[in-house]
Structure 1
Amino acid sequence: MTQISRFLLVLLTAGLLAMSAAKPTRVIFFGDSITQAGVNPGGYIDRLKKMMPSDQYELIGAGIGGNKIYDLFLRMDDDVLAKQPDVVVIWVGVNDVWHKATSGTGTDPDKFVKFYEAVVKKLQAANIRVVLCTPAAIGEKTDMTNQQDGDLNQYSQFIRDIAKRQNLPLVDLRKAFQAYDLQHNTDNKDRGTLTTDRVHLNDTGNQFVAEQMQQVLMAGK
């Protein structure tokens, strides 16, 4: 090999390494209507794009209104795996609980855990880093009189347990929302502190969620 050839090879190798190093981490947020709204101006994903280095992270929303855990399982091939993410943030569970009261559906506890574990397993099989989130709120009253506090706490614990068993990073939004409401919702209102309607995020809620997500995502960089 001539000296010029070696020089060109070194330049090519350096260029390929630079391209590889410059490739941003692709993060998909996988969830329901809260995540669907998260990509809108002022939404938590939109805010995260401004809070995290754009040359290091590519953030993509994959939320669909009304989705439960089995909906995520059924659409993950097209909406997640096909996009070849490096990280997937799973934020689901509100509809699995909420729809028990609103439409008599929801998801039974054993089925919730089985589908949730199946989603995690399939993502891990594709060498994707998985971040779990607990469902934040169905009502913001601080005295535990929201209609579905008990179920929401139970399903949040299921997710904490999965995170612990699988040694996965966890954004414990349920715990964070309860602590924030205790401090800021002094009138014990069922909405208006972090949510517009007991579930979906207001401006403060979007910023709060973005901050919680940022801490965990950037810790794993």
Structure 2
Amino acid sequence: MHHRVVSFIFCCTLLMGSLFCSPLLAAEKESAEPFTVVTFGDSTTATRGPLVVYSMILEKELPQQSIPVKVINAGIGGNTTANAVARFEKDVLQKQPDLVVIQFGINDSAVDVWRDPPKEKSRVSKKQYEANLRSLIKQLKEKQIAVILMTPNSLRWIPRIQKLYGKPPYDPEDPDGFNLFLKAYAETVRQIAKETNVPLVDVYAAFETYAKQPGQSAHDLLLDGIHPNTKGQRMVADLLMPQIKQVLAARKK
């Protein structure tokens, strides 16, 4: 009789444990499920040889700060926002992300004066650039996917780039001359972020602020006048992480 009572109690304990513990275990598993973050951009986002780009830093360091993430790098060199719109479904939406970081502008704003005959306008007009970004944001919001906008980083002349682009309307004698059109595209991103209530990481402003400090130069942050180097990628990641933590923490609620 005593044996039967003990067995009955033991079975009930297992049953009750399964009833009460299973939801807890499921909740723990669910909470441990990583957020999917897509970094969507051009060659300043894309992987680049052995360079540790900002998406790699995010994937390594955010989990160390109790933010489990899976980061998908959807950067492609040479891309404009026109390319971004064309590949958005395949490279972003189909990944079912929780958050998308968007950074375009360098290729959109470029005027290819080196062509024969020379181009006179940016590859993507500022008006179309704005429309493309707004379209991406609208689609993400409709699907309740969080978004962070980043301005493009600022640029600097190096001999190879100066040889290609150092012609009117660019001014090769102006150290800031390669940003002639890009600075207006960066301002467009700021305006869109404000009007759509989207978090903004102002990489352009951060690079320029760094360059204005005594003994410092924007070249310190660039591989080749265009692409962020290790220090530049580190700066971008450090600017992004607090914003990502804030956005993903809000999605937990």
| TM-score, reference length from structure 1 | 0.87
Q: 1:116 aligns with which of 133, 138, 157?
A: 133
For 1:61, give the aligned amino acid. Answer: N
Unaligned runs of 5+ in 2: 1-10, 159-172
Give the 5 Å matches for 1:1-221.
Answer: 5-37=15-47, 40-53=50-63, 56-101=68-113, 104=119, 106-139=123-156, 145-183=175-213, 186=216, 192-220=219-247, 221=249
Question: What percent identity do the matched residue pairs reach?
Answer: 29
Change (3 A) 1:39 1:73: farther
Q: Secondary structure at the match of 1:60?
A: strand
Deviates more, 1:20-29 or 1:149-158: 149-158
Structure 2 CA distance, aligned partners of 1:217 and 1:31? Answer: 17
Across the aligned residues of Structure 1 and Structure 2, the Cα RMSD in angstroms comes to: 2.5
Q: Secondary structure at the match of 2:220?
A: coil
* 1:112-161 CA-partner distances (Å, limit 9, x unpaired): 111110011111112110000001112179x9643342321211111111
Structure 1 CA distance, aligned partners of 2:46 and 2:60? Answer: 18
| TM-score, reference length from structure 2 | 0.77
Structure 2 CA distance, aligned partners of 1:49 and 1:99? Answer: 35
Change (3 A) 1:6 1:108: same
Unaligned runs of 5+ in 1: none
Structure 1 CA distance, aligned partners of 2:157 and 2:112? Answer: 18
- Across the two proteins, how many residue pairs are aligned to each other? 216
Change (3 A) 1:7 1:171: same
Structure 2 CA distance, aligned partners of 1:184 and 1:214? Answer: 27
